[in-house]
Structure 1
Amino acid sequence: MKLRGIIALALAPAVALSLMCAPTLAQTNPGTSPLSIAKGGTAAATASAARASLGLTIGSAVQAWDADLDALAALSGTNTIYYRSGSSTWAAVTIGGMLSFVAGTLNVADAELVALAGLTSAADKVPYFTGSGTAAVADFSVLARTLLANTTNTQMRSTLGVVIGTDVQAFDADLSALAANSTAGFWAYTGAGTGAARTLAAPAAGFTITNPAGTAGNPTFVLANDLAALEGLSSTGLAARTATDTWALRSLAPPAAGFTITNPAGVAGDPTFVLANDLGAVEGLSCTGVAVRSATDTWFCRTIGGTANEISVANGDGVSGAPAISLPAALTFTGKTITGGTFSGPTISGLANFSGARRDSTQSTPSQITSNQNDYNPSSVVCSSSSTLLINSDAARDITGFAGGAAGCDLFLFNNGNFTITLKDGSASSTVANRLDLGADFALGSKAAAHLKYDGNSSRWRNTTGSGSGGGGSGTVTQVNTAGAALGGPITTSGTVTVTVATKSDQQAGSSAVNVVTPSQQQSHPSAVKAWVRFTGSSGAILEAYNVTSITRAGAGQYTLNFPTAFANTTYACMGSIEDSSTNGIVKGSSSGRTGGGFPMFVVSFAGSLYDPSVVDVACFGTQ
């Protein structure tokens, strides 16, 4: 402890001096009295007296020893505040961020606290900040304190004097919409919480409106046009519009006969029509049926009747419906003559006596026959809408039967062509009921005719023309001339005609004028297309083709045509076209990769890029 150190330092010289001077100052005759201070003693016989003599009384002159004071003396911090944290234990106080301790002064480091500390308080005042680190005081009235003391909305509204339903109007969406309106005029409710300002609008004619919005006064309606004209009438009667905005009064006038009119102007009551003459007589009928006028102003009911086996009448009096006049199922024309008219599908029984000429008014000209016909019935006209067929063929053809036959039906055939058409007898190529029973095939020559009738008993067509052939003339062939491709003629009795068939090399040479070309060698001629194809651009799928079995698609607009029958070399030529509704382009052969069995090609747009058109057509020529 520092106090002990100070006392020790203070006593050290005296003790030392006492020791140094001891021999000199030693009492020669020691006694029992305490040694005086002058002689280096304490002038006291006890420790407490000695301390008092020396001015070292504990508790008044010097501090008594204390463990806490020792702990404090051991501290070494500067500008530090300490607190007793335990018995004889002291620790430094931690200064918070809002305070600082410098040179023995504790400072407030927060500007807001400093600002608040600098205010002068007063009654009914409350501090508030005016900026960062600045503050002021404002009035804080009793009303304000009361409002803050309120704990419910109801209490606050009462304090402020805005009690809903007493002091202020409760919110209403319709009133809000009205308050928001800035347009002059009448207010119209248009829906929940909505409305609009309106102005009275006059029609195009009839009346006008002064001050229609009501802003300058009451809206005033003024009649105009037709309404003004009606209002301007001064007499009585039925009003009639005679022109634009012009009206006149009229009175109903009855006809000379038929009915009369009571109160025709409608002034004394409704105009009343009273039937008379013929109308009165018709109204007076009490019967039902067809009304007939038998005399002036006289009418009776009648019923339309018929004659048995001649005319039938249904509902002759017209009560249940319109009278229907018809011919009976069995009609008797005894003693009667029918002139003109059209009969659809009549059946005539017994002997029919035609006193004049008979004709068939319809005939059919079907399309050319290009192959042998079974169950022939073009457009289903046989025994239906036509009994005459004007036929022709592209070569000698056969007809094995006719469909549509009916018992007794007539069919007239006329060959208008240049080739014989043979009607085949009993051919199984047609359905049994459509076959021909002729006894033998019948050759219908050019410009010849035949009359067939359908036998309902045997369900066969019979030829009333006869058997054998029709047309073509007759005679004897005396000579057959041959020329060109046929060698060995002319032949007058018998002989052989030699025909030379063109080979592949003949076709490729293309110079022979006598050799006959068969279908198997037709494509070998230089002018013939050796391969062609029509395919889909996006997939390479073949739509139609000849000598192209597949398309290899390497990418957009990149294809290779594969030929099963290869070209003899790579100098063949191909041409192509495209079909596409959106992009124009061209077909271009590849400069490399061509073989006899494959043709690589591209489709390029006019913009210079490869693309897949909708459809691609390609044809190739060359030697195979």
Structure 2
Amino acid sequence: MTVILPSVYKDGTATVAAGGIAVTGQSTLFMNSVLPGDFFGVHKGMPIRIASVESNTALTLANPWPGAAQTAAAFEIMLQSDMARVQESTRQLLVMLLGGNIDAFAGLSGADKKVPYFTGAGTMTLADFTNLLAFANLTGAADRMAYFTGAGALALSDIKAAGRTFLGANFTPVQQSGGAGQTTNKVYIGWDGVSKLKAQVDASDLGGIWTDAYAQQSNSLNGYQKFPSGFILQWGQIAANTVSDVPVTFPISFPSALRGASVTPIGYGALTNVTYAASYDLPANSGFAIRRTVISAGGGLSYPNPSFAVAWMAWGY
């Protein structure tokens, strides 16, 4: 017995607006019976290709409906034959393959560990993926990083938190030397974790690097200078009009120890045939006391007049 397949689908009714592309079915089974490429509207002699089928009661036309609006009215959809669908699919595939892509692929000569790739429209070449294969053959593990050991060969190396932080930092690292007048020693610069930058050449520690933040200073009359080694030099003047020892408070206290000091008379008074002298006592990290005397020609001692000033200097760390 010969089975004749239906050439149209017309179960139920359909609604479509004039100039619309949405078709709504009533009591229809579009999903089970209709495919994109079939034609809606043959009942009016105006077949419009179906672009998509959304559900059993909804489909979308490829072009606006040219007829009058219809509401829950009879309709017919002309079904494409399977042969027509195959022919159209084949045509579309051939169109996609045109443009030289097949010719470009056919023109390649395959080789071991090579993969083809497009270099432009209709042009292809081969790339070596030996390195990719080497990478794929590695077994990843925590805190491990891949590196090349040779052509097409990779291995894993340890990389801890500090290394990951270094690789992710946004800065320009110090390069190995080797410029004009330089050797090829490796130079290291790093933070000591407390207060200063340090430098090292190969295994030789150069100590702290002088920076404005680390070598602080005050250039005032009573000032100081810090050095990267921790050494501190301080200076100042006193000119108090008093017969007592004059206490001096350093601009900053020495963190560890006062190691030495000197005091020098300046701004001598109007007396003649005398010697102005100064000394310090009660040394401490925060200051000392200065004693001023005038020694006459006969050896007598007296306290200074108001114009007898003293400059002092102290050092320590």
Q: TM-score, normalised by structure 2?
A: 0.29
Higher strand share: 2
Normalising by structure 1, report the TM-score: 0.17
Q: Which fold has the larger relative contact order, with Cα–Cα distance below 8 Å and residues 6 or more apart in sequence?
A: 2
Greater Cα radius of gyration, structure 1 or 2: 1
